[in-house]
Amino acid sequence: MKKIFQKLESLSSSEIMGNILDGSTEPDPSREQLKEIKKETIKNLEETPDFEAIVERQRNSFKYLYFTAAFIGSVCLIGVLLYLVSMLPQYGVENPRTVEVVKRYVEHGLEETGAVNIVSGMILDYRAFDTLGESHVLFTALICVNILLRIDIKNMRTDYEDYYTIKRDVYYDMSHDGILRLAALVFSPCILTFGIYVLLNGQISPGGGFSGGAVLGAGLILMSAGFGFDKVDKIFTLKINNIVTFSALTFYSFAKGYVFFTGANGIENHIPKGTPGAILSGGLILPLDIAVGIVVACTMFGFYSLFRRGSVASKVND
Amino acid sequence: MTPEWIRFYITAGLITIALTGFAFSVIGVWRFDYILNRMHAGGIGDTFSLFFIVSGLMVSASAPIVILKLLLPLLFMWFSSPTSTHFLSQTEYYTSGHLFDHVRRRNSGDTNGH
């Protein structure tokens, strides 16, 4: 192939044009010549490098390298981990460095936080800063989904898009289905009540903000799936969602900031702890639980409705 | 033969039935290829086996409050599992392109099943 191109390139344009203008055509090639040309072409074709084979060879060599590197890496990792395991303290033997914090939490947790459920006392009192960050992560995720997926009159490109979105939503709407409607009718009150129960009993029994909020969010999703978005839109819109989430997080931040400030400076914070075991006990744990639960429920329901139809409210229609 | 032993044998029998159902259910979910068949197998585990395992535990429980508490998940599962199965099959029916490779319509007069 290369040689043919070289031949063509070596011919100057005037030569070609001259041939044509003169009308002098070369005599037709004979049978022998044709055979030779054919042979030459086949030879040229055979001489061209086989690119697929080259790629295949490179791929194979990469595979070989990859497996070697993976094997060496795995062996090194296993060695390091086994070495570290050998350095762990023996099981069952008390290790003062690691047990110190646990001992403090278990022995003094009840009197210091006022929460019977020591896990709630830990995540909302001793380590409230961590929980604050987690709630803000949820809020940030909701904001990002809002930015990416929200459909609004202001950012709608055409009327057609609007129409298409609504049509699609109606097409996939299952709320006319009797079975789902009955299941939602039976279940959503129970689920919502159970969610509130878990939320309010966070400091005296297993549960708390995150689990209660997840149950509440699931109940809201079931409600909107069973009765349609129109029913939910009457009590819960995107604006309300954002306001509620924002105020819950602000309350959390300020309340916990107050406690951090007073605690760091050794000032009395005047928050009553209450009797352990009662609903109104544990100081700030109950309100903080409610705030976290609201954030989680709003985030779950917001995710669902934004992914489902690009909006929490039905304001798209008007 | 004391009443405690009778109760134990009843519990053991019920739980054995339930475990057999679960075994069939698991085998079905693993061995069948098509979603509706697998859903049927899974539904057996969710309703039949769950009923027998919970009733076995209810026979073995002594306090009435425990029996009531055991009844709640049974009711919940008997409502929610068929509902979700119903929606899965609806979705399969409306969106699948290969439905009639697996499903034959009765009395349609068409030998190909279309």
The Cα–Cα gap between A94 and A88 comes to 12
Residues in A closer than 8 angstroms to B80, CB to CB, are 183, 187
Rg, C-alpha atoms of chain A: 36
Task: Determine the residue type at A156.
Answer: M
Confidence of residue B24 (pLDDT cuts 50, 70, 90): very high
Work out the number of other CB atoms within 10 angstroms of the CB of residue A109. 20
Domain boundaries, chain B: 3-93
- Stretch B67-80: mean pLDDT: 90
Looking at residue A69, what is its pLDDT? 96
Q: Is the pLDDT of residue B114 over 50?
A: no
Backbone angles phi, psi at A281, to 5 degrees: -145, 175
Looking at residue A127, what is its pLDDT? 85
Query: How far apart are the CA of A186 and the nearest CA of chain B, in angstroms?
Result: 9
- The candidate with the shortest Cα–Cα distance to A185, out of A219, A217, A213, A216, is A219
Looking at residue A15, what is its pLDDT? 60
ipTM over the 0.85 cut-off? no
Confidence of residue A30 (pLDDT cuts 50, 70, 90): confident
Write down the pTM of the prediction: 0.68
* Ranges A106-110, B48-52, B75-79: which has the least confidence: A106-110
- Stretch A158-187: mean pLDDT: 73
**Chain A residues with CB-CB distance to B under 8 A?**
174, 177, 179-180, 183, 186-187
Give Cβ neighbours of residue A81 (< 8 Å, ≥ 6 apart): none
Q: Is the pLDDT of residue A116 over 50?
A: yes
Q: Is the pLDDT of residue A96 over 60?
A: yes
Confidence of residue A75 (pLDDT cuts 50, 70, 90): very high
Q: Is the pLDDT of residue A27 over 90?
A: no
Contact A183 B80 (CB under 8 A): yes
Confidence of residue A158 (pLDDT cuts 50, 70, 90): low
Q: Is the pLDDT of residue B23 over 90?
A: yes
Looking at residue A7, what is its pLDDT? 61
pLDDT winner (highest mean) among A8-22, A63-77, A94-108, A134-148: A63-77
Which among B79, B82, B86 has CB closest to A186? Answer: B79
Q: What is the pLDDT of residues A246-303, one digit of tens each?
A: 999 999 999 988 888 888 888 887 777 777 777 787 778 888 889 999 999 999 988 8
Q: Is the pLDDT of residue A73 over 90?
A: yes
Query: How far apart are the CA of A34 and the nearest CA of chain B, in angstroms?
Result: 56
pLDDT winner (highest mean) among A48-52, A176-180, B78-82: B78-82
The Cα–Cα gap between B48 and A227 comes to 30
The CA-atom distances, in angstroms, between A21 and each of A14, A25, A27, A63, B50 are: 10, 10, 16, 59, 95
Looking at residue A315, what is its pLDDT? 47
Looking at residue A132, what is its pLDDT? 87
Contact A179 B80 (CB under 8 A): no
Domain boundaries, chain A: 2-47, 112-317
Which among A180, A186, A187 has CB closest to B87? Answer: A180
Looking at residue B13, what is its pLDDT? 95
Residue ranges in A150-177 assigned as alpha helix (H)? 159-172
Query: How far apart are the CA of B59 and the nearest CA of chain A, in angstroms?
Result: 26
What mean pLDDT is reported for chain A?
Answer: 81
Backbone angles phi, psi at A183, to 5 degrees: -60, -40
Looking at residue A318, what is its pLDDT? 37
Q: What does the DSSP 8-state code read for residue A139?
A: H
What mean pLDDT is reported for chain B?
Answer: 86
- B84 and A180 Cβ atoms separated by less than 8 Å: no
Contact B83 A186 (CB under 8 A): no
Q: Is residue B69 within 8 angstroms of chain A, CB to CB?
A: no
- The secondary structure element, H or E, covering residue A97 is helix A96-113
Q: Is residue B87 within 8 angstroms of chain A, CB to CB?
A: yes
Query: How far apart are the CA of B74 and the nearest CA of chain A, in angstroms?
Result: 13
Q: Is the pLDDT of residue B85 over 50?
A: yes
Looking at residue A217, what is its pLDDT? 92
Contact A187 B80 (CB under 8 A): yes
The Cα–Cα gap between B17 and A278 comes to 44
Which among A174, A177, A183 has CB closest to B79? Answer: A183
What b-and-e string marks burial along B36-67, b requiring 16 or more CB atoms within 10 Å of the CB? bebbbbbbbbbbbbbbbbbbbbbbbbeeeeee
Chain B residue at shortest CA distance from A181: B83
User: What whole-number percentage of chain A has pLDDT above 70?
Assistant: 82
Looking at residue B113, what is its pLDDT? 44
Query: How far apart are the CA of A189 and the nearest CA of chain B, in angstroms?
Result: 13
More confident call, A159 vs B62: B62
Q: How many CB pairs under 8 A join A and B?
A: 17
